[in-house]
Structure 1
């Protein structure tokens, strides 16, 4: 049985299956249960192997100890009874010796319980230490680690304790606890390297280092300052790269403010924690108080209740600190060394970071944020340490770099024009919204020129109807007009330089060449910026690519930067053809980049409506009943081989149309494309979309063909074969698309192998007829997904249409020439004949289809 064992209905199982089949299902369920148990044991054993081993050892020890104690008590009672009854007159033991023996036994029993409790503490400590590490309570974790080391050392040094020789679990448990030294230290160092660090967390980490490594406060100070310097360097060197989906890039402004916050926060931590009567000294003084709680108080309540069984050296243990001393000279020397290191980092890394600031608004935001957030006064620290310079890092390091960046004038006219055009495109992308349905076909007052002069004007921006057919709306036209006006100013300034009689021809030629190189560089940078935009929806992508194309088509002065005007050719000479070549190369580059944006549009459509999500992945009985359309019944007349006059009629059922889920999926793609692109896709983009769609569908059908249900059912294989033939026909996959065509043929052969050869020979002709009929019926409904008709038929149709059309109309604008119509004629589908089945026949066909589905 291939039914999911988790969804079995017991009543249906016993009604529809025999006892041997039910026994097989029972064995399968038992196998799944045992596998799950084994996986659970493996997972728990790998994660808590040491803890489980220690727990099993303690349980075994407890059982053995209980049995041993009972046996000793029984023997002791029997011996006492014998002594009292039979050897009463022969006693030689004095009462004093009896008292000594009793005290010795009590001592051994106390030692036994004490050892057991200490071992229990050792087994409980790893989990408790991990809990404190996870909660970032590093001092508590360190204190427990030192406590565990104290217990383990005491047990290992108790050589007279014969019980320890029989219980090696204490030594093994210390092997588990020993790595916590490096674990806690590594966690403390990572926390001290954070950008955001509170005074309480810093004191907890430094106190943990003091207790963990038994080092002095000077070494801890050096380590603290080195880690803060590393945090400062990491903040400066952080690259601007995309992060996980849902987050955003960390901008330069945020990194600069974060680096300033690290430096100011470090001084604030030194002031609060490490000066006289600082937070660290108060915490250590609290730990040195006689009333400080012992380390066992950090254990759970169940362990604290057993404290009376422990020796005093364990029960009353608390961590010990040496009296912390940090002379001002040592603090000043460490701080001066650290400041030199920060100066070296700021001279390179911070200056490079400021070089990324691109506008005055960012600098103003940095200054405002710095004055609002970093108000800590370091005057107290400066006076106490008697420093000859200020610790205000904003005034010492950041203000000079900000002023130097402001003084740098590196913006040329071309850079300004390019930057403003880029920002305007970003604004249009941010404001992009889905257009109104059929808005492109609504007539407007500006569509036709109002005068003869306007009609004869060569400026592309005045041809409103032609621009609307290309998707250039008013904001895009305004963007191009502003950009072209800035370029016109550059060209006008260059004309003034070229008109000077004192300039040499070589200088003028070099200036023209420099203009072309600058235009090429800036336009390339603009294309790269538009390509790097993180566009969130298809409308934004369409707006970006249309803006890119409009900048080339609607800005005549941009072309003048490459192809010089007639007044310049007296100096350019033979370089005119080179300028035209550069212009054509830039247009080709722009076309390639806009094609990439188109691909992103169609990729998002396919990602939103993936066939893996929209189509069923497994074909079950429910899927067959819900997804497979009603097959058409054909009656075949065959003559009997023995009796030639008798005619045998047989009824066969043939798929008549693709699966409902496939049709629904294709219609959803059409709706999504229509919502994203109101106009028809360009032929190249449509071809790329169809190629990607067919590859996804082939992957889906390959998985269905490899499934066991398809291999076992001829009807399922026949329907899938019909779907593939339909897709191949409707998307015009011919031998010219060699790879895709071979994939279709290979998958069809695989499905054909699942079908009986005799049946397939009878079905083949009818399948071809039904595929052609379905293609003709759905070709017009599929809309933008259907490829353009062949070039020959398209040319003939367009020639005929132009021959019979005497008056021009607006539909002529939707073609790029007489041979490339954007809107082909819709196919005429005639009603099918022979579909006169009665209601009773349809009901019978439905019942037969359901019966065949259950026989799959």
Structure 2
């Protein structure tokens, strides 16, 4: 086992040794500890005994020294007495002059003694007095007392060879106590000049203290002052807590206003203190005036009572200043250097602080607080200093641009956030879209109609009108949230526009920026929406409905373009320009959404193509199954040769092919499932254009078939279908290309019909086409344009007009009806439905009985029905055309 107990490892000891060995180690350690304790007690006892012995020796030496001194004093007394006795016969009487000189010497020595004592007393009193003035922030008084103490100490040190001074080393030690006050006073003065709040009197007191303490010229003091004010500006921008309360967090508004106050206050201090006849020069004149009190007067009253014991150079001491000179050019150069430094600090630190401002109300408070401070005209000061005009207006030069930039950033960021949230919600709704129930939109609900007139006239969304446009509850909620965010932006901007001190140019610039931001964000939204490349039909419909809803159900979006009445006093003649921008945005949205509608239309027509739904060749089976109704017409002609009447029968189609009707009804069902509300006119026009293009291609293929050329009846039915399609879809000359295609195809089919027969058929075909159009127009109302054949281009908007009359919900406007009532058809004789054949010989009597009589146009109506319709029309405020 190792004998070095200090190097023992406890873990190793317990692992490698037995219990008995461990006990032996413990006993050995205890023995060593006891030995050490005994040695310590012995050593302490010996040293304590030596100390007691030394103390006794010192006490004995003190008693011996006292006895020796006393004996020496006795020897001196005996010697003096012996000397007087030995020289008694040799003494002479001193003269009066000698006595006077002796008295003067004794008096001078005594005065010197008292003067030295008083000066030492002053030096001992000065530290406490200087600290008192420093605590009271009387820096010039503290500096004057420090200079006074240095003056006293210098005089005493010059008299250091004097016997009295050699016996009094306390004077030199007291100066060692007073010497650090030079740095203490200077640091206190510099700290005060770095404060945010600095009065003119305090600034002058600090500047006088620096002039007296450093013995420098006024230019250097000015440089120091401006440097400290820039440091105060930097500290104000960087400080996160209040100056008086270090633990209290400092608001951004307070930091901005405090920094502005520092800049304006610095200019005010320069103007008040350092320009001609400034407060600093007045105080300097008072300090160097002959009537100025000496520095001894700043001492306590007990010390001032001993002033007669001091020499005149001490009692009458006053601080001395060199004649201060500060040229305007020197002040201008220093001020320009300071402003360049402030510019660099503002660029680095002021702009990030403005970035922390999050609301318009805070900006409004900053502007009001900055405007409420007394504004002075710096023109005279700038003229004196030969500075550029408006160089000293820091609020206008540095703060207003940052305020305007922050206002624009808040508007832009708020718009970006609102638009991004709306876009995300639109994407979510588009991804989670599902086919709506067709009857859900038209099903009446209890909360559709307003419960009161006030609710009807309010700005609340009209639920029934919104449901007819396909705007479901999530879409309305999305628009409400988006409009609320825009309302907050408009409201915050309105707070700034109501400010009376702001210029009209700035207000107009803010209004234009709001419009430009809104236009930019809406354009970006459309770009993002297009970048999704939606292909699913329901997703496309949901996206375009939501986008249209943002325009229709968000009134504050329009306010961003077409300003409210309270803003127009600043907009002036640019109100029309705002409306033009709004129309341009609506046109852009309509154009972009039209592409979405085109995708929906293409998808519907691709899924339900006429090439798949209509027969491509006309056979006998197709004729029996597809040519549904032909009407037999009896014609009477006079045979001049036999002088008798000849009757002949012709058969004319009365309605389009059943496959064509079925195909059109299938398209209507698909549209009702995909878009369970009326299509916008422009979309319907595009849908019809593509549909008619496919149908014309189909009929062109049929007209070129041999079966059509060989059968006059097939050609006649196809000709009837084309005339029906042209009439029911309102194809006119304005649609030149489509119109020409129809007539070219009709001419090709007419060439397949006998000209003489076609002359007989033409008038009847036209009549039957008109009847079929009137009869089927109501059933095909989703596809067909209004009955008045108004071009769809006149109603080119994708958004439906707001119609307050609930009776006209099926209309796209006040004049055009989407779903007109079915026409009134007079009863007529039963038509014969047969397979069309060629012309027959003269008809029999039975055929005459089956002949359909010709009815004159214009059915007579009873007076009672006219009166009832007239009264109903007057009650609902509608024309009688509505009941036809």
Tell me the TM-score normalized by structure 2.
0.43
* Higher radius of gyration, 1 or 2: 2
Tell me the TM-score normalized by structure 1.
0.45
